[in-house]
Amino acid sequence: MNENLFASFIAPTILGLPAAVLIILFPPLLIPTSKYLINNRLITTQQWLIKLTSKQMMTMHNTKGRTWSLMLVSLIIFIATTNLLGLLPHSFTPTTQLSMNLAMAIPLWAGAVIMGFRSKIKNALAHFLPQGTPTPLVPMLVIIETISLLIQPMALAVRLTANITAGHLLMHLIGSATLAMSTINLPSTLIIFTILILLTILEIAVALIQAYVFTLLVSLYLHDNT
C-alpha cells in the first residue's frame, strides 16, 4: 500500500482556504445548553461532570487561583471534545498539530508565571535556587532551573501532540492490516479486528486522559505561582 500515513494530519482546506479555524470552532457547538428550569438527563450529567472536574482541580488553589476555574474547565472540555471528534473516520484532529498545542500552552503558562512574579516575586525567584545549595553549584543550578521553567510549555504541547498522533497512527496501521488480511485469512482478520476495537476503546480513554493531564499540569503551574 502506497498510502501516506501522515496524510490525515495535514490541515484540510476548502477551495484553497484553510479550514482549521472552522474545525476548531465546531466542538463548542456540540455542548448542549438548556433554557429550562428543569434539565434533562444529558444536561444534568454534563453539569455533574463539570462540577466534579472543577472541584478536583480547584481544591488546592487559593482565592486568586480559583479565578481561573472557568478558563480551565473550558480548556479541558475543548481538548476532550476535539480529541474525541478526531477519532471519527475521515476527520481532522487539531490537537495533532504542535503549533496549536503550543498556542494553548504558552499563553496559559506565561500568564501563570507572570502572575507569580507580580504577586510573590520572592517565592518565584526562590524556585531558581533550592535551599542549602553549595555555593560552587549556584550558577549551574540557576541555569538548570531556568531551562526547566522555560521548557514547561514545550513539554505540555509535545506530550499532547505525541500521544494523540501515536494513537492515530497505530489505529491507521492496524486498520490497514485488517483490510489487507480480510482477503487472505479470515481467522487472522477477526483477531486483528478485535485488537482494533480494543485499541479504539483505549484511544477514547487516552483522548479524555490527555485532556485532563494537560489541564491538570496548567493548574499545577498556576498553583506554584499563586
Q: Does 163 or 184 have the greater pLDDT score?
A: 163
Q: How many CB atoms lie within 10 A of CB 10?
A: 10
pLDDT above 80: residue 6: no
CA dihedral 169, 175, 180, 186 (to 10 degrees): 140
Cα(223)–Cα(57) distance, integer angstroms? 10
Residue 1 is predicted with a pLDDT of: 45
Cα(107)–Cα(193) distance, integer angstroms? 42
Query: Residue 15 — very low, low, confident or very high, per pLDDT cuts 50/70/90?
Result: low
**pLDDT digits over 80-116, tens only?**
888 888 888 777 788 888 888 898 899 998 888 888 8
**pLDDT digits over 193-217, tens only?**
888 889 889 989 998 899 989 998 8
Domain membership of residue 124 as a residue range: 1-225
pLDDT above 60: residue 2: no
**pLDDT digits over 40-89, tens only?**
787 788 788 888 888 887 787 787 778 888 888 888 888 888 888 888 87
Mean pLDDT of 134-149: 79
Average pLDDT, the chain: 81
Residue 18 is predicted with a pLDDT of: 67
Overall domain count for the chain: 1
